[in-house]
Amino acid sequence: SLCGGGAPSLSYQELKDLKKTNILHIDVRERWEIERFGRIPASINIPLGELVEALQMDPTDFKEQYNQKMPSKSDPVVFSCLAGTRSKQALSFATSLGFS
C-alpha cells in the first residue's frame, strides 16, 4: 500500500507513472522484509523506526547513509510499506517535521 501527500493512497500504476517524474520513493518496511520479499526498484529503504531521525539528518550524512540526495521539505515523496499502516505513520511524521 502506498501513501502520497495529496492522495492518501496510490495504485501501483499511479506509482509507476509518478516514478517517471522526479519523486523520492521511501519504503518504510524493515530491512528483513526487504530481504525476504524484495526491494521495490528505485526506492530507498528507511525503516519506520529510523525515519524521523533520517529526515532531520545533515544532508551529507543522509547521502552517505542512504546513497540518495536528502529530500527538501517541498520535494515530492511517496512512502510505502506492506499494508499501508506504516506508510500513513511515515506521512504524518514527515508532515510534522514540516514536509509538504
Given the residues 81, 90, 91, 94, select the one marked as catalytic: 81
Distance separating alpha carbons of residues 45 and 34, to the nearest angstrom: 8
| Pairing relationship of beta strands 77-80 and 2-4 according to DSSP bridges | antiparallel
**Displacement of CA 76 from its chain's centroid (Å):** 10
Q: Is 3 an active-site residue?
A: no
Point out the residues that are catalytic: 81
